[in-house]
Amino acid sequence: MKFGYLIIISENAEHDYLQMAYALALSIKNTQKPGYDQVALVTNNSKAVSELKSAWVFDEVIEWDQETFWDGRSWMDQLTPFENTVCLDADMLFLKDYSHWIDYFIENAELYISNKAYTYRNELVISDDYRRTFTKNKLPNLYSFYTFFKKDSELVTEFFTLGRAIIKNPTEFSNLFLSEFKPKIVGTDEAFALAAKILDIQDIIAYPLEFPRVVHMKPLVQNWPWPSDKWSNHVGFYFNRQGHLKIGNYQQYDIVHYVEKDKITAETINILEEIAWKK
Amino acid sequence: MEEIIDFEEFLRNIKLPEVSYVAVFDPETGEVKSVGPSHAFENKPYKIPLDKETAELIIEGKIRINSCFVDITGNTLEIAEIKSVFKIDDVLHRVVETKWAEFDKADIYITYDKSQNTLTVELTEEFHGTKKLAEKFQPVNKRKVIWSGDTTMKLLITDYNDPNVLYTMITLTVADLVEQKKIFENIELPERFSIYTRRIFKNYVLGDL
């Protein structure tokens, strides 16, 4: 398969990542053009997938349990069944056709990691709340929630191999390279940013582009004049029967990384399923 | 001849009336305004009984009064760190359809009859309304919350899951729902709509559309 989206999850007692991945896959099927709507799911419980009403939204389900939680995403290059892949976080929703971004990446990039995020009001996120490790240690501002890569690429292999080494040895890499501000946890974002810096490839894999555009709903980066634990304390999440989303009174057009895991309810799933069935 | 009372015996035998305590609260926010013996707040409409120990801790300042609020639906005093803002879900709460409700027991039931164009609002019997609760909740312990009958409820009827598109707004009071249901006529709505309201009660449901 030439191109597809990859979602990597593992079962978690606190959150239903399968439900989030299912919502994301449905939203991809509902909005993307044929040829740009393939989805592969990596999970440690493929049996649960078969119990979904429309498990067909996952074109491929890969059983894999070598890592848990977000560590699994650093294996995306090894797990993907696609020649060209965009690996996504599970807690995202597609709201319109973004196929033209893919055309660009396939044509022009071996590896591209998003390096900008937007608020729900379409403002560029400039706050470094949650990202002190990046600013203090002068890391490239990478967001792994949207990562494009080609399967057979030396650059890609080198990058992800180093990324995995960082995640496996967080203390050593933190002591050496993140001494100005050590993160509590070296997550995928930190590992990818540090790998890009060490390999000195940030200008190749994260050069300025107007896309991908992802609305990042971490509460402290919304340019509000007050602190907030949860964005949903301040603005509503309004998902209508057409699969259109408003956050507060702002219509959303970009990919929405909703962050709060309870946003995908049975009702939201039902809306997405009905759209998929009628398509 | 005047009897001289043995003062020490008087002190030993005296039985003071037991003081009951109350917390006076703001019915809109649940914020606790005052705590003290019940006789001091006889004229206050919004109050709940409070155990002596908690009341004394608040009066002595060991529990900050501004960290206390009343769970209006549960008729209990909660102690918590109050956030400086309301949650949007408290001021613009969506009434979910029964089939999507993630709770067992609602406090307010709303039903829409498309053939008659009527919208009916009912309070459950738990709050002295007309809506009978399911068998599993019987017998019902009626809540002791002291309501001001003129507490206003506004229902915003909007586009499906979009309070930005308002179809109509209806207003009623809690008194309208005590021992009776409130029926609004000539409410013409599309097949799909949503209802939003300020969250006075905890759980609201809309009969399946």
Model pTM score: 0.81
Task: Indicate the DSSP class of residue A123.
Answer: P
User: Which CATH number does the domain housing residue A107 bear?
Assistant: 3.90.550.10
The alpha carbon of residue A236 is apart from the nearest alpha carbon of chain B, in Å, by: 7
Could you tell me if residue A43 is left (phi over 0), alpha (psi between -120 and 50 degrees) or otherwise beta?
A: beta
Q: Which domain holds residue A196?
A: 3-278
| Euclidean distance between CA atoms B175 and B153, whole angstroms | 10
| Euclidean distance between CA atoms A42 and A168, whole angstroms | 20
From chain B residues 104-123, the ones with a CB under 8 A of any chain A CB are none
Residues of chain B with pLDDT under 50: 80-85
If one counts the domains in chain A, the total is 1
By CA distance, what is B99's nearest residue in A? Answer: A267
Query: What's the pLDDT at B30?
Result: 76
Q: Which residues does B6 contact at the CB level (< 8 Å), separation at least 6?
A: none
Asked if B84's CB is within 8 angstroms of A226's CB, the reply is yes
Q: Which among B99, B165, B200 is positioned nearest to A236, based on CA atoms?
A: B165
pLDDT in tens, A105-118: 999 999 999 999 99
Residue predicted with more confidence, A226 or A147: A147
pLDDT in tens, A253-265: 999 999 999 999 9
A34 at B interface, C-beta within 8 A: no
B85 at A interface, C-beta within 8 A: yes
Which chain A residues are closer than 8 Å to B190 by Cβ?
none
pLDDT in tens, A52-93: 999 999 999 999 988 776 678 889 999 999 999 999 999 999
pLDDT in tens, A7-61: 999 988 889 999 999 999 999 999 999 999 999 999 999 999 999 999 999 999 9
Q: Phi and psi at residue A189, in whole multiples of 5°?
A: -60, -50
Q: Which among B102, B121, B103, B101 is positioned nearest to B111, based on CA atoms?
A: B121
pLDDT in tens, A119-153: 999 999 998 888 999 999 999 999 999 999 999 89
Are A209 and A101 a contacting pair, CB within 8 Å? no
| Euclidean distance between CA atoms A277 and A272, whole angstroms | 9
Query: What's the pLDDT at A208?
Result: 93
Query: What's the pLDDT at B149?
Result: 59
Cα B38 to Cα B66, B79, B178, B194: the distances in Å are: 20, 20, 26, 42
| Euclidean distance between CA atoms B171 and B153, whole angstroms | 6
Query: What's the pLDDT at B84?
Result: 38
Question: How far out from the chain centre does Cα A258 lie?
Answer: 11
Cα atoms in the Cβ-side hemisphere of radius 13 Å centred on A148: 23
B154 at A interface, C-beta within 8 A: no
Query: What's the pLDDT at B89?
Result: 87
Query: What's the pLDDT at B9?
Result: 78
Which H or E element spans position A273? helix A266-278
Q: Write down the number of H helices and E strands in chain A.
A: 10, 12
| Euclidean distance between CA atoms A194 and A139, whole angstroms | 6
Query: What's the pLDDT at A66?
Result: 84
Q: Which of A235, A241, A249 sits opposite B160 (nearest CB)?
A: A241
Cα B36 to Cα B28, B32, B39, B48: the distances in Å are: 21, 11, 8, 11
Query: What's the pLDDT at A270?
Result: 96
| Euclidean distance between CA atoms B68 and B22, whole angstroms | 13
Cα B86 to Cα A220, B28, B80, B183: the distances in Å are: 17, 11, 14, 30
Q: Which of B87, B161, B192 sits opposite A233 (nearest CB)?
A: B87
Q: What average pLDDT score do residues A223-242 get?
A: 90
Query: What's the pLDDT at B73?
Result: 61
CB pairs under 8 A between A and B: 41
* Domain layout of chain B by residue ranges: 7-79, 88-206
Asked if B96's CB is within 8 angstroms of A233's CB, the reply is no
Q: Which among B140, B110, B84, B138 is positioned nearest to B201, based on CA atoms?
A: B110
Q: Which of A236, A246, A270 sits opposite B92 (nearest CB)?
A: A236
Residues of B145-178 as b/e, b for ≥16 C-beta within 10 angstroms? bebeeebebebbbbbbbbbeeeeeebeeebebbe
Adjacent-strand bridge partners of B92 = none
Residue by residue, DSSP assigns chain B as -PPPP-HHHHHHH--PPPP-EEEEE-TTT-BEEEEEEGGGGTT-SSEEEE-HHHHHHHHTTSS-GGGEEEETTTTEEEE----SS--HHHHSEEEEEGGG--SS--SEEEEEETTTTEEEEEEBGGGT-SBPPPGGGPSP--------TT-EEEEEEEETTEEEEEEEEEEEEGGGGTTS-EEE-S----SS-EEEE--SSS-EEE---
Q: Is the ipTM of this complex over 0.95?
A: no
Q: What average pLDDT score do residues A143-165 get?
A: 95
Cα B183 to Cα A34, B132, B170, B180: the distances in Å are: 50, 17, 11, 10
Does the pLDDT value for residue A214 go beyond 80? Answer: yes
Q: Phi and psi at residue A148, in whole multiples of 5°?
A: -95, 140
* Structure token pair of residue A184: 């509590």
Which chain A residues are closer than 8 Å to B83 by Cβ?
233
Confidence of residue A199 (pLDDT cuts 50, 70, 90): very high
Are B154 and B197 a contacting pair, CB within 8 Å? yes
| Euclidean distance between CA atoms B105 and B88, whole angstroms | 22
CATH architecture of the domain covering B88-206: Sandwich (2.60)
Query: What's the pLDDT at B137?
Result: 83
- Tell me whether the omega of the peptide bond preceding residue A34 falls within 30 degrees of 0, making it cis: no
A233 at B interface, C-beta within 8 A: yes
